[in-house]
């Protein structure tokens, strides 16, 4: 029995479906842990300081590009570690990725210490809560730096079709974060120190994922050994510079609302934004887990043009519909949930929840194109439109923040992603895929491609 080439093979179907199912099944638990964590932090810090804590604690959303696009490279390389024709250079790509990101982590630590030494965090962030900021924010920045190499473990799990396990690893981070929050609460620390709990929990979960990934991929401790001499010229990934630009532009365009509000609006508006953003993040985590599972699937189908386009179209429509349902739920329940979580200290409007819902729909519809267009020319196309989106989002956000606060900033980001991401993708993605050459196909091909490359001799 053959598998239609625009459909998933059984193993691929299990990997792509299990991750969102695991995420959905675990969402009540992770949301409960995250919201409990938020409730403790809000009550211990107050609305104004909570906005600052949330701004620093979500630095991973603002600077995911700090991995220089290497995370994307490692996913693609890990998809080539296994299969009937594995790529012998793939393991060296992973090794080089760890070495480079360990260096980046060291640089982040040095920069954080320098900023602390000149007491410059208030200038960087936008405002200060007190003298403890310089120490607490520095520790948080160092934890962020360490998450860069540790985060490669989840990328490896995705690449080797262990996306369900990657999802479980990511879902463990809120549990670790809550544990750290409870430790800080019992120690009766100043409110600003709660900036370390989320990043510390993220690092703990990623270290766990790294250990599992190295064991399951077969790399083990060899992931930290020197790169073989005959493959020292192998790049991390052709076109990785463009993927780096994409990874830089998306968070700058979509996640800098906190920074804009910190500088151009009030602490109350920043707190409103940060609280609803957590609800948005819970919805986005489910969709992104499902979307990321298709990265290695698209990599293995690079030679199957028509089938790839058909799969992309179905995914775009499906993700948009699911996001619309989540957006409706946020609009109806967001204000009530915010009041319950903050104990009445933070009040958000239905308009703010609806704006985040619109942003969710836009991001969800663009997600399939993001994981599909990873060849150098395609990544360059993505990078150009990402820069347009980022400029539009920041420009509009700065213009509306003083008068419209959090709602204006989120609406600006939603408009930018629709105009500069969703619409261009709907128009040009099919043409970009049709331009692919046979040489673009990776060595580990999909089952359908393998059947075409190695036809059954019994069929003549």
Digit-coded pLDDT (tens) for 297-314? 887 777 788 888 999 999
Looking at the domain assignment, is residue 280 inside a domain?
Answer: yes
Looking at the domain assignment, is residue 126 inside a domain?
Answer: yes
pLDDT band at 449 (very low <50, low <70, confident <90, very high): very low
| Per-residue confidence (pLDDT) for residue 59, from 0 to 100 | 66
Residue 460 in this model has a pLDDT that exceeds 50: no
Q: What span, in angstroms and rounded, lies between the C-alpha atoms of 280 and 295?
A: 23
Summary mean pLDDT of the chain: 80
Count of all residues that appear for the chain in the document:
460
Q: What span, in angstroms and rounded, lies between the C-alpha atoms of 150 and 159?
A: 16
pLDDT band at 66 (very low <50, low <70, confident <90, very high): low
CB-CB contact of 83 with 167 (8 Å): no
Looking at the domain assignment, is residue 2 inside a domain?
Answer: no
Q: Which domain holds residue 437?
A: 10-444
| Per-residue confidence (pLDDT) for residue 201, from 0 to 100 | 93
Looking at the domain assignment, is residue 71 inside a domain?
Answer: yes
| Per-residue confidence (pLDDT) for residue 459, from 0 to 100 | 37
430 or 284: whose pLDDT is higher?
Answer: 430
Q: How many CB atoms within 10 Å of residue 28?
A: 10
Looking at the domain assignment, is residue 459 inside a domain?
Answer: no
Query: According to the per-residue pLDDT averaged within each range, which of 80-84, 194-198, 375-379 is highest?
Result: 194-198
| Count of domains for the chain | 1
314 or 446: whose pLDDT is higher?
Answer: 314
337-354: buried (b, 16+ CB within 10 Å) or exposed (e) per residue?
bbeebbeebbebbebbbb
Share of the chain above pLDDT 90, in %: 31
Mean pLDDT calculated for residue range 365-394: 90
Alpha-helical regions (H) of 151-194: 152-159, 163-187
| Per-residue confidence (pLDDT) for residue 138, from 0 to 100 | 92
pLDDT band at 283 (very low <50, low <70, confident <90, very high): confident
Surface-to-core class of residue 276, CB atoms within 10 Å of its CB (0-12 exposed, 13-18 middle, 19+ buried): buried
pLDDT band at 170 (very low <50, low <70, confident <90, very high): confident
Looking at the domain assignment, is residue 450 inside a domain?
Answer: no
Looking at the domain assignment, is residue 345 inside a domain?
Answer: yes
Looking at the domain assignment, is residue 225 inside a domain?
Answer: yes
- Prediction pTM value: 0.65
The crossing angle, in degrees rounded to 10, of helices 152-159 and 163-187 is 160
Residue 118 in this model has a pLDDT that exceeds 50: yes
Mean pLDDT calculated for residue range 433-459: 49
Residue 393 in this model has a pLDDT that exceeds 90: yes
């Amino acid at each position: 029995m053959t598998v239609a080439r625009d459909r998933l093979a059984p193993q691929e179907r299990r990997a792509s479906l299990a991750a969102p199912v695991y995420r959905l099944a675990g969402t009540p638990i992770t949301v409960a842990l995250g919201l409990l964590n938020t409730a403790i932090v809000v009550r211990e810090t107050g609305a104004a300081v909570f906005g600052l804590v949330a701004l620093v604690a979500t630095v991973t959303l603002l600077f995911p590009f700090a991995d220089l696009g290497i995370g994307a490279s490692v996913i693609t390389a890990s998809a080539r570690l296994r299969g009937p024709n594995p790529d012998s250079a793939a393991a060296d790509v992973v090794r080089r990725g760890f070495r480079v990101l360990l260096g980046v982590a060291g640089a982040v630590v040095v920069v954080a210490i320098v900023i602390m030494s000149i007491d410059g965090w208030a200038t960087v962030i936008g405002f200060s809560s007190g003298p403890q900021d310089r120490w607490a924010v520095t520790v948080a920045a160092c934890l962020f730096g360490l998450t860069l190499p540790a985060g490669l473990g989840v990328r490896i799990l995705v690449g080797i079709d262990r996306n369900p396990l990657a999802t479980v690893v990511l879902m463990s981070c809120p549990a670790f974060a809550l544990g750290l929050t409870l430790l800080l609460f019992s120690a009766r620390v100043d409110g600003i120190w709660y900036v370390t709990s989320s990043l510390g929990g993220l690092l703990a979960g990623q270290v766990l994922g790294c250990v599992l990934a190295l064991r399951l991929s077969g790399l083990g401790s060899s992931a930290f050994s020197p790169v073989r001499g005959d493959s020292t010229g192998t790049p991390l990934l052709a076109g990785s510079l463009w993927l780096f630009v994409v990874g830089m532009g998306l968070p700058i365009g979509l996640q800098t609302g906190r920074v804009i509000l910190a500088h151009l609006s009030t602490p109350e508006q920043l707190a409103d934004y940060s609280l609803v953003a957590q609800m948005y993040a819970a919805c986005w985590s489910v969709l992104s887990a499902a979307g990321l599972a298709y990265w290695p699937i698209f990599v293995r189908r690079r030679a199957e043009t028509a089938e790839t386009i058909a799969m992309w179209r179905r995914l775009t429509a499906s993700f948009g519909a699911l996001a619309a349902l989540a957006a409706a739920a946020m609009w109806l329940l967001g204000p009530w949930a915010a009041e319950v979580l903050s104990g009445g200290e933070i009040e958000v409007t239905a308009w703010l929840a609806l704006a985040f819902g619109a942003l969710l729909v836009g991001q969800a519809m663009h997600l399939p194109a993001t994981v599909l267009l990873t060849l150098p020319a395609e990544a360059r196309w993505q990078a150009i439109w990402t820069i347009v989106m980022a400029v539009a989002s920041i420009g509009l956000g700065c213009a509306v923040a003083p008068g419209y606060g959090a709602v204006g900033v989120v609406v600006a980001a939603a408009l930018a992603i629709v105009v500069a991401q969703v619409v261009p993708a709907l128009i040009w993605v099919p043409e970009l895929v049709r331009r692919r050459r046979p040489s673009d196909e990776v060595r580990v091909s999909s089952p359908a491609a393998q059947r075409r490359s190695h036809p059954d001799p019994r069929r003549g």
